[in-house]
Structure 1
């Protein structure tokens, strides 16, 4: 846990956003896997963690914008809890750790909320994403759980995002820890990329590395030799010589800060000529995006610049044709690069997207582009020092998409479908780094996971 002044100062920043009434921030509860006492690994709500710091279930926090008071509600343990869990710190002691003296049993939260309602003051809350908290908010506020999501406070959402999007130095250090674990995960996956290896064995091994590093994975591992499926969580196959293994995986630090890397590895340790050619194109797009990343630049413009690098490379190979800028403007590149360049990252791997991705990635100046491929760009707005973003261009050959575009004549002026058909069994390549926006530019966080094709081949060959 960070020093208590961290949480005091964060709540102070929120109080300085000119909101009135109270902010009601609910922590998460335990979530059963198959019966009440057999629960999933506990994960606290990230906004609660950010402002209140306490990483255990059954809590709620309140910030009173009018009085300046902060509160934590929760229940102390009884003797039965102690028998199973051992001695526990009291709620009052935990409150003191984060600079809060106003602590009370959880039931008292209902009294406070009713008092605020009777006084005609506003109750701000963030969009709930778990069923238990939707039901709890209904009981607290009287708003139906069926519509509670739409009644979340836009004022509070924007205020929280404006604070959380700028990472403190200590947060960056936590992300560096997660990246160090992520590095070990990906190098291990490369070493295991041998013919006949079960994908699940690799996925399980690197998940174990994450757990051994102090935290769970930051999202379910994507690992497959069918990398043309962007989020492929099927790990059922045995790796085959000559195929590419795409691994998209990251870890959480002890304090729940995330890493998120993707590497694509030749099974057996040798890229074919085709594979190396496409790999070099994606790597060039990745490097170009990092080079362009700096304060004041929109990530939308960087995404489009990376798309032009990919389109240029594919044109050189005869897969695309015509003017590159016109092709990208028409969205022709998206048959090969059908997703966005990256997203925010921090306490969440897709940072704060529970608050509404549109508010995290866009603003009044920069709005999403309604075009296939670019429409999936999760971050488009101007970058600021302290942003942590992912940079993950890719190139994929998706047979169903190739067939659809060819049959419908989509972007036929820019795509050589006959040549593309030679790559139907290629799979996909994605290369992803985690980037800190600095005062003058950007830097890759931590030691860069091996990415040059020669280096990757050597790691696999050593095993």
Structure 2
């Protein structure tokens, strides 16, 4: 089948070939803290807790995942720590880290800890204390401050903040002054995280490169009769082989009609001849996520119907990507892609009726049942306000340094009797990771095949 001119990413928009990095320099976390403190008023305090380890069963734990706001401000990857940012009445700023103490016995069994000396020397904070000193020092830090910043979404930590404030209040008769202005720090940090620095972009570019290699491997290792989890294992192998120890999220490896389950993660079924395999998988590198989806034929050759739907989704994806630039928005991109997909489904006979009415009634959402994309960064669905209107339109204008996914899809489950049988069981999504540049975009997802010709050629090797 011939491909649209939009099927190829323009060469001048290809991913950079700069030397890859696997983690941010610690100096970047200093800059993150400085940027946040510059937005905070004088005579205030901000408190950011680390995550805790979670028990999986009995005496085993889940793989540790650090609180993303805490990590953004510290790069510190131990549990149960606390970052305190202080600003005095003259505007002088100071950062204090509370963390687990050095403990030779614990370190024999569980691994080395950074400790307080290296926290100051290596992580750029002015002071560091052990966790045992929190309850005596935090009330002293709070006393006399006019404003306290902390994340309102963390209810357990919020309760701890109120306990410390109550300690300050108990000394009012002795002249203690309790902060009266409590402010949610989450939106403030989210705004900073939304605009990526040069090093953050370089790290995400590398995470995408590794993820693209994994998608290539999945295509090459895919055969009729294998199980979905065997392909998942190939993906995880390729991640780790290139330094990405963990996936950014639970990989979706969905054969056939399983692709019509948006968050399918069972990955336990056999791969059947003449069906498609949808893989949504991305590596996590240095804390930052890639999020890529590719769909391809299990036997290496698209059928006529699969080609038709696939080419429609691919062209819609490229239409959206090529429109990205500063000032664009998801709302505007949705208008473009929804109209394009509606016309395509009418041309294929899947939708019937007046095109204008079908677009107005958003009938395409019967088959394109999720959003066009989302912010990407430390989280897969990263933080940042979308400026959603009352009509649920995402109106925020794109700015240089934002990173997002673009991921149109068409899903026609086997149970959909409203369409011809030849279309049933087809589920296709194609997803790239895109950075907004000064005058356009950069597509990070360029080494994972996506044209029909490139996929079939790779799978025949």
* TM-score bin (small chain): 0.7 to 0.9
Q: 2:410 aligns with which of 395, 398, 401?
A: 395
Separation in structure 1 between the aligned mates of residue 355 and residue 414 of structure 2, nearest angstrom: 23
**Superposed CA offset, 1:86-118 (max 9, x none):** 654432212332221211111322234323554
Distance 1:136 1:107, change over 3 A: farther
Q: Is 1:192 aligned to residue 216 of structure 2? A: no
Q: Is 1:29 aligned to residue 44 of structure 2? A: no
Asked whether the equivalents of residues 72 and 102 of structure 1 are also in contact (C-alpha less than 8 Å), the reply is: yes
Q: Is 1:249 aligned to residue 272 of structure 2? A: no
Q: Is 1:76 aligned to residue 106 of structure 2? A: no
**Superposed CA offset, 1:167-223 (max 9, x none):** 111111111121111011111111222110111111122122223332300000011
Separation in structure 2 between the aligned mates of residue 175 and residue 157 of structure 1, nearest angstrom: 22
Q: Is 1:386 aligned to residue 386 of structure 2? A: no
Q: Deviation of residue 140 (structure 1)?
A: 3.8
Separation in structure 1 between the aligned mates of residue 163 and residue 356 of structure 2, nearest angstrom: 54
Distance 1:60 1:340, change over 3 A: same
Q: Deviation of residue 312 (structure 1)?
A: 1.0
> Is there any run of 5+ residues in structure 1 with no aligned partner, and where?
144-151, 353-359, 404-416
Q: Deviation of residue 389 (structure 1)?
A: 0.5
Q: Is 1:263 aligned to residue 294 of structure 2? A: yes
Which residue matches 2:33? 11
Which residue matches 2:68? 46
Which residue matches 2:178? none
Q: Deviation of residue 281 (structure 1)?
A: 0.3
SS across alignment from 1:123: strand
Q: 1:171 aligns with which of 187, 200, 205?
A: 200
Q: Deviation of residue 157 (structure 1)?
A: 2.2
Which residue matches 1:135? 156
Output aligned runs, 1:391-430, within 5 Å: 391-398=406-413, 402=416, 417=418, 420-423=419-422, 425-430=424-429
Separation in structure 2 between the aligned mates of residue 135 and residue 157 of structure 1, nearest angstrom: 15
Q: Deviation of residue 380 (structure 1)?
A: 4.7
Q: 1:222 aligns with which of 228, 252, 255?
A: 252
Distance 1:241 1:3, change over 3 A: closer
Q: 1:106 aligns with which of 109, 131, 134?
A: 131
Distance 1:424 1:73, change over 3 A: same
Q: Is 1:206 aligned to residue 235 of structure 2? A: yes
Separation in structure 1 between the aligned mates of residue 142 and residue 356 of structure 2, nearest angstrom: 56
Q: Deviation of residue 325 (structure 1)?
A: 4.4
Q: 2:119 aligns with which of 94, 99, 103?
A: 94
Which residue matches 2:381? 350
**Superposed CA offset, 1:247-280 (max 9, x none):** 0000011x11111110001110111111100000
Separation in structure 1 between the aligned mates of residue 192 and residue 401 of structure 2, nearest angstrom: 11
Give me the TM-score of the superposition, normalised by structure 1: 0.84
Separation in structure 1 between the aligned mates of residue 357 and residue 120 of structure 2, nearest angstrom: 58
Output aligned runs, 1:358-373, within 5 Å: 360-363=384-387, 366-367=388-389, 369-370=391-392
Distance 1:112 1:160, change over 3 A: same
Compute the RMSD of aligned alpha carbons. 2.4
Q: Is 1:158 aligned to residue 187 of structure 2? A: yes
SS across alignment from 2:458: helix
Asked whether the equivalents of residues 248 and 260 of structure 1 are also in contact (C-alpha less than 8 Å), the reply is: yes
Asked whether the equivalents of residues 343 and 361 of structure 1 are also in contact (C-alpha less than 8 Å), the reply is: no
Distance 1:180 1:3, change over 3 A: closer
Q: Which has the higher strand share?
A: 2
SS across alignment from 2:327: coil
Distance 1:153 1:43, change over 3 A: farther
Task: Using the TM superposition, name which of 104-113 and 390-399 deviates more.
Answer: 104-113
Separation in structure 1 between the aligned mates of residue 86 and residue 360 of structure 2, nearest angstrom: 49
